[in-house]
Chain A
Amino acid sequence: MAAKTFEKGNVAIAKAAVAAGCKYYFGYPITPQSDIPEYLSGVLPGVGGQFVQAESEIAAINMLLGAGSTGKRAMTSSSSPGISLKQEGISYMAGSEIPGLIVNIQRSGPGLGGISPSQGDYFQATRGGGHGDYRILVLAPATVQEMYDLTILAFELSDKYRMPAMVLADAMLGMMKEPLEEWIPKQAEEDKSSWALSGAKGRERRKIKSLFLGDGELAEHNWKMLEHYREVEAKETRVKIEVHDDCELAVVAFGSAARIAKSAVDRLNDEGRNIGMVRPITVWPFPYKEIRELAEKDIPFLTVELNVGQMVEDVRLSVEGRSKVSFAGYPPGYLPSPDEIYEEITKLLDKKD
């Protein structure tokens, strides 16, 4: 077993990318994710890769589109305002079925906002984000170790399903240091020779595109993508559930909000309460089924987010009125303490008691 090091979350992502065999990085500087390009600009040239500092986020995502169309494992990273600029390219990548990793170390919005942690981009990440009717894979780490592990998983899923994947973290996870155990994936990279562009040698020419003007072509393409999405939903939903019998209430939270909420939940359970914790690890696909099953046991929910109410809509869609869903949200620019979430949970329990 490899020795543990003490790393920043951003660096963990960059190291995981190298471990996953990603040799191509395209990006533009923005706080609070610049550790990623800074690290990779030093490492990639030494492994036969390429680091390109693009003129804009728009150019960077299109460089990723180009590298991805040739089947090469590649990535870009940014933070909220930059991710908005990338949406055009993400839509084209989704429509053209081009894999690639996009990292969003969220900061506070809207607009230029601030550089503090936030989960304000949940809707943008899980609803496609750009124009058209599409989804991308979205993985939400909650620890520095998960920044590493889920980056590798995101590359693998992106290649497997030929769709863009996003690691959705935030300034807190990106900037803080925790113990990290690095590992090298054993799984061989997906064979992309059946579709990737490599020059039409000894085979028919290939077109990778999202323009379909022929009668019925576009609808057929979109039905095919939907079938893909259904398969991803069935096979790749990941959620960590810590709910015991006779659970009084379950907190639903992802990423850094889940860490803060977990401290409050642990304290209550130490005090003899029975509070559960549900942490979506994939936020698309979202664990609708798993949460619905808990709702069928009459467990009420409290959704905690670092925004004013985004994932809570998915929790309500899961529950469909079967049990009560409350919400504790903290707007971008504010970070709650575990005590504040403890108070929120206690208030709900008092009402119930």
Chain B
Amino acid sequence: MKTVFERPQSLVDTSFHFCPGCHHGTIHRLVAEAIDEYKVRETTIAAASVGCSVFLYDYFDIDVVESPHGRAPAVATGIKRANPDKFVFVYQGDGDLAAIGTAEIIHAANRGENITVIFVNNTVYGMTGGQMAPTTMLGQRTTTSPYGRDFAQDGYPIRMTEMLAQLEGVGYAARVAVDSPAHLGKARKAIMKAFATQIENRGMGFVEVLCTCPTNWGMGPIEANKRIAAEMIPYFPLGVYKERTGSDFM
């Protein structure tokens, strides 16, 4: 009998703590597949961030250091500069990367740090219980935007991938989703490319993944999954925003 589907080797055989319908588990799997594909499990050091994804050290069979909130790109800079032979990635949510850690991600990107960044955007602070994030959609009700996000009060949702793609230090930048089989395939490809970008020393590889948060959106898993295409993708367009082939990197 031929095996057609199995757990990636770099994922630990345990249950995720994530809520039903949350995409984090799927995204973890895609990252694990990339670790397996490039055979970097034994040389990987990840910097975990603060939020629901902090527990990645329980799910990936790799070395992990935990970072203060928002600082993972700086922690990863320290790891990679002192250990250029290691594969280094960070996995951050929108509160972590796009609010408290804005300076760290922009400057790590601008320095062209050879690290891979998985940015999970679910438009809300998950772990702290559903507060407004910088990526919260206009009109979206959260526990700290009870009347819905109002641009006059809170500004517009921030588009990080477009912003970072402008920086010369970024070798690859893409926004993907995992809400359908077609999108999943593209997401897998983008994460693979962000890994290859680091391995080939082409600067930061950055992938934003649009993600559900059924619990804090007050939705069931199916309804939450539908919201990705209905509300998020029109404002956060999917696609590859930057792809450096190598020769144009100063």
Cβ-neighbour of A66 out of B54, B60, B78 (below 8 A): B78
Contact between A58 and B71, CB atoms less than 8 A apart: yes
Segment with Cβ contacts to A, from B39-47, B164-172, B207-215: B39-47
Cβ-neighbour of A205 out of B48, B54, B62, B106 (below 8 A): B62
Question: How many Å from the CB of B82 to the closest CB on chain A?
Answer: 4
Across the interface, name the chain B residue whose C-beta is closest to A201: B42
Cβ-neighbour of A209 out of B45, B66, B77 (below 8 A): B66
Residues of chain A lying within 8 A (CB to CB) of residue B87:
199
Cβ-neighbour of B83 out of A59, A63, A65, A72 (below 8 A): A72
Tally of B interface residues using CB under 8 Å: 36
Question: How many Å from the CB of B12 to the closest CB on chain A?
Answer: 8
Question: How many Å from the CB of A96 to the closest CB on chain B?
Answer: 7
Contact between B103 and A24, CB atoms less than 8 A apart: no
Cβ-neighbour of B57 out of A23, A26, A201, A207 (below 8 A): A207
Contact between B68 and A92, CB atoms less than 8 A apart: yes
Residues of chain B lying within 8 A (CB to CB) of residue A55:
103-104, 106-107
Residues of chain A lying within 8 A (CB to CB) of residue B107:
54-55, 59
Question: How many Å from the CB of A247 to the closest CB on chain B?
Answer: 48
B201 at the interface (CB under 8 A from A): no
A59/B63 contact (C-beta < 8 A), A66-B78, A197-B79 known: no
Question: How many Å from the CB of B150 to the closest CB on chain A?
Answer: 30
A62/B104 contact (C-beta < 8 A), A24-B82, A208-B64 known: yes
Contact between A54 and B74, CB atoms less than 8 A apart: yes
A199/B45 contact (C-beta < 8 A), A62-B104, A63-B78, A66-B79 known: yes
Cβ-neighbour of B81 out of A63, A198, A205 (below 8 A): A63
> Considering the chains assembled together, what is the distance between the CA atoms of A63 and B82 in angstroms?
10
> Considering the chains assembled together, what is the distance between the CA atoms of A88 and B75 in angstroms?
13
Contact between B63 and A199, CB atoms less than 8 A apart: yes
> Considering the chains assembled together, what is the distance between the CA atoms of A197 and B57 in angstroms?
13
Contact between B45 and A62, CB atoms less than 8 A apart: no
Tally of A interface residues using CB under 8 Å: 39
Contact between B45 and A70, CB atoms less than 8 A apart: yes
Residues of chain B lying within 8 A (CB to CB) of residue A205:
57, 60-64
Residues of chain B lying within 8 A (CB to CB) of residue A92:
66-68
Question: How many Å from the CB of B17 to the closest CB on chain A?
Answer: 11
Residues of chain B lying within 8 A (CB to CB) of residue A168:
none
B76 at the interface (CB under 8 A from A): yes
A200 at the interface (CB under 8 A from B): yes
Across the interface, name the chain B residue whose C-beta is closest to A58: B71
Within 8 A of A (CB), among B177-200: none
A29 at the interface (CB under 8 A from B): no
Residues of chain B lying within 8 A (CB to CB) of residue A58:
71, 74, 103-104
Residues of chain B lying within 8 A (CB to CB) of residue A208:
64-66
A24/B78 contact (C-beta < 8 A), A54-B107, A55-B107, A201-B43 known: yes
Residues of chain B lying within 8 A (CB to CB) of residue A65:
65, 67-68, 71, 75, 78
Contact between B63 and A96, CB atoms less than 8 A apart: no
Within 8 A of A (CB), among B66-123: 66-68, 71, 74-83, 86-87, 103-104, 106-107, 111
Residues of chain B lying within 8 A (CB to CB) of residue A24:
78, 81-82
Contact between B66 and A66, CB atoms less than 8 A apart: no
Pairs A–B under 8 Å by Cβ, sample size 20: A23-B82, A24-B81, A52-B111, A62-B75, A62-B78, A63-B75, A65-B67, A65-B71, A66-B80, A89-B68, A197-B64, A201-B42, A201-B43, A205-B57, A205-B60, A205-B63, A208-B65, A209-B48, A211-B54, A211-B66
Contacts A23-B82, A50-B82, A69-B78 aside, 7 further interface pairs with beta carbons under 8 A come to A60-B74, A66-B77, A69-B79, A72-B82, A199-B44, A205-B62, A208-B66
Chain B residues with CB under 8 Å of chain A are 41-45, 47-48, 54, 57, 60-68, 71, 74-83, 86-87, 103-104, 106-107, 111
